[in-house]
Structure 1
Amino acid sequence: VCVRSRKHTGDSPFICDVCNRSYRTGTALKRHKVIHTGEKPFTCSTCRKAFKTKHNLQAHQVVHLAEKPHKCIECGRSFRYAIGLQCHQSVHTGEHPYKCTVCGKAFTSRRSFRTHQAVHRGKVFTCETCGAGFTLQQNLRRHSRIHTGEKPFSCRVCGKRFMQDNKLKAHMLLHGAKKMFMCDQCGKTFLYNCQLKKHQEVAHSEEKVFRRRAHERGSRRVIYRRDKTTVDVTPFSCSICHKGFDTAGSLKRHELIHKADMQYTLWQGG
């Protein structure tokens, strides 16, 4: 069997019948075939221009986002959305419908109002499009993609694109990505560190209270990972070698050693 055949029947089973190039998924192969057929199945709903890939269409549509079709008859200023024009028109009428409940200051537009509110919340980075406020500039950049349609995070397996990196990580589970963050209390795994922290707050908060109180009473010494206190109490014991552990997670990781040894022994015997 030739090397090319092994490759095609392994990781890349989808083969182009024109150039023999192989792909991991049927979707990737279909996207590639457009090169040979010249087909442009993705059409812009605004100007009807056609594109070979969805990504190229999305990149093109940013051009239309820059257009501002809604024009004020008083001053000629143009806006991208009708709601933007409505908010602007209060400048000419003299209305100040948006009032701050903190300091009482009034504003003619919702955007100016939201920009002002961010000051009270300590959010110094504001969106020029909608006035949303953020404490960090990187959060503002992430938010701005909602308006621009930018999707900088691309899946290396199927090419699908995402606005946020956490959406890409969630998508990667479909391709067999592993959950990397493990709870040292119970061994449960999570895709994101924030999910792990939330789990520990909810699932193990009562256990933490019990351990702290026991430590304060001096009835027994309990392990604290922060200060590496010597362990006198090891409530989790291995059923095979009887070694003691302070947490279920530590015991679970230890038991994997025995499991691997058993699998190796069975393999040797087979």
Structure 2
Amino acid sequence: MSKVTTKSMLKKSSGKTNQKEVCCKYCDKVYNCHSKLVIHLRTHTGEKPFKCDICEKAYHSSTILKTHKNIHKGKKPYKCGKCEKTFRTVAAAKRHEQVHTDEKPYKCEVCDKHFRHNCNRYKHMSIHYRELPFECKLCRKGFTERFDLIKHYTVHSKKPFKCSECYRAFNQEDDLIIHQRSHTDKKPYKCSLCDKSFTNSSNMDRHMLIHYREKPFECKLCGKGFMQNKELKAHYSKHKNMKPFKCDKCDKAYLQEAGLIVHQRTHTGDKPYKCKVCEKSFTSNSQLKSHQITHTGEKPFQCNICEKSFAAKRTLIHHQRIHTGENNIKQHKKTHLPKPAT
């Protein structure tokens, strides 16, 4: 049997709707130029001639390969017009921008509910068809959304997946598997340019920046570049006495422009980050994340002495003073202050 290729299929897909359009005879899709049809036909043949020279992943078009390479370079060239977030693809930036609007273009085919993203509509549709794709690995109960599954895990335990080598525990089995590699020599993600190996793909991607000398995280005060965001944050401490980003409404000033943008929302009342559960809005993404924990019941901040867990980091810090005796020292100072002279 002869192999099906794009070239052989082009002969079959010569159907034309008019002088400028060409049609695929296998799925009836119409394109306004021959080159687009060639790219589309590769989805039928499975051909992927464009190969990444870093991780060897292959794609059916050069455009998709170019977008993929941004992962290795740490580039996020597409910026949201409403906030400071950046994205690797145009599609991801457009999806994100809907967060700042009330637009919900995707309607459920069964009921009147509308959604910002098609993937959310798809998850919702499973309610009508009783599909429960997210299954608990402890009791086999099914859920329509991953968010509900994570919330459900708290019924079994705070963190049911416990490491047998140390005290750490995780909500998800995948996180435990990645963590357990730190106790072994298993490093399945290998750099294609040198002999270094890593326990997870994100660490490997960060390492790849060294070979390309890419420094995508730039200091806005002195222009110095860094390969990792944490290095940039550490660098900013050198400028701690400099706060060039000043608010024009009050006397507050900030080290970074992002801090000023968040602060200015207190003057404008703008709250672009909205909770999908209760629809409360917040001025920053970090405030939204802290709030969302109140719905899930999660307590991610664990005391390393007594293993008690808390929903907020500040509550954990306050609790840890019980172990250090800091609270007692402060109380002692308060009760033994010298009386003012009369």
Give the TM-score, by structure 2 length: 0.23
**Greater Cα radius of gyration, structure 1 or 2:** 1
